Structure 1
Amino acid sequence: MIYKIRVILDTEEDIFRDLEIEDSNSLEEFHNAITQAFGFMGNEMASFYTCDSEWNQDEEIALFDMSESGSNVRLMNETFLTDILTEEQPKLIYVYDFMSMWTFFVELADIEEKEDGRVYPNVLFSFGELPDSPPEKSFESKPSVDFDENFENYDDLDFDENWN
């Protein structure tokens, strides 16, 4: 089967690519298709994340296991589209280059029969130009404590003084 997938850059402007890829491809092959479609070199770390219908991030599926002792993190080359992207779970988050945090919303749009003579993966449609740098991210709200002020009474702060 062929998955038709829209990959949208997390930015205010509309920047997306519609790709078609075989459901039997690994997430590593899908990662390569995304980087090529957006014009990245493909030499940076990346991860996919499962998510719910509201785009709340869940399990990481990494390009490489970077832990020293080895972990139970899922890897892209061992995970296939058909196992992770379904009609019931049609969304993923993709992050490319952890220093720049290019973030994309990935959504399964359709599943069709494979066409004879067609080469996959394939870019069906390209809209918008990738900016020179990734969009700014705001990861936290305004802190509830002004850390520049001098505290007279540390008992008012919510922490255990014997925390370590």
Structure 2
Amino acid sequence: MAILKFRVYFEEDDSIYRDIAIRHKQFFLDLHQAILKAYEFDSKHAATFYRSNDNWQRGKEISLEKYDKSYVVEPLLMESTTIGSEIFDPNQKFIYQYDFNRNWTFLVELINVSKEENPKIEYPAVVRTEGIAPSQYGTKGLVGDKLAEMEEKYDLQTGAEGFGTEGEGEDEESDSFGAEDESSEEEF
């Protein structure tokens, strides 16, 4: 069974992406749920995929459900459309749109096809994560695990190699500056 690896870019910043491996016989609904999980989004909103070309133009729609809007061509449904049935190019692209009010858009690109299935992985699976995902409902702080990841990645620990102690312990100079500041305040 073929394993397809897709790179799912956050449209506004292509340095933020998730790589998702999925079987070609799985459905777009599975890919939709994997993307939401990878970006830590809930599944409360409408969503659709569009088959795309190299210029990221929207083509055939593969929708979560048939929405109350006019369609030029009836959309395919995620729950009944296998991913492999919509792959026509070795670099096949899709546009994934989630929550039509907030208009979250992700660019989905096929980056690898493999015949080897890893028995240790439950598909679909996020196999690579780059960048901090945007927050679905506002700002997201760097706390807990995310901060630990940043510290590890960028070596932000105190006293890390390459950071000197220059400027520490020079209190005498700062005291004299403090005295000057006080006297100049009295003159005014």
2:78 match:
76
Distance 2:124 2:136 in 1: 26
CA deviation string 1:2-51 (max 9, x = no partner): 11110000113611001101111100111001000000011210000011
Change (3 A) 1:87 1:72: closer
Deviates most, 124-133 or 25-34: 124-133
CA deviation string 1:48-72 (max 9, x = no partner): 0011111111121110112499983
2:65 match:
64
CA deviation string 1:67-119 (max 9, x = no partner): 49998321111111101124346100000110101101000011112122321
Q: Which runs of 5+ in 2 are unaligned?
A: 138-188
The runs of at least 4 consecutive aligned structure 1 residues that moved more than 6 Å come to 68-71
Q: Which runs of 5+ in 1 are unaligned?
A: 135-164
8 A Cα contact 1:65 1:75, kept in partner = yes
3-state SS in 2 of match to 1:104: strand
Distance 1:12 1:88 in 2: 24
2:133 match:
130
Change (3 A) 1:129 1:116: same
Shift of 1:122: 1.1
8 A Cα contact 2:52 2:92, kept in partner = no
1:87 to 77, 89, 109: 89
Bigger fraction of residues in helix:
2
3-state SS in 1 of match to 2:94: strand
Change (3 A) 1:52 1:68: closer
CA RMSD in angstroms, aligned pairs only: 2.2
Change (3 A) 1:127 1:53: same
8 A Cα contact 2:22 2:124, kept in partner = yes
* TM-score (normalised: structure 2): 0.65
2:41 match:
40
1:116 match:
119
Q: Please identify the structure whose Cα radius of gyration is greater.
A: 2
Distance 2:84 2:121 in 1: 20
Distance 2:13 2:35 in 1: 20
Distance 1:2 1:68 in 2: 34
Count of residues in Structure 1 that have an aligned counterpart in Structure 2: 134
Deviates most, 105-114 or 116-125: 116-125
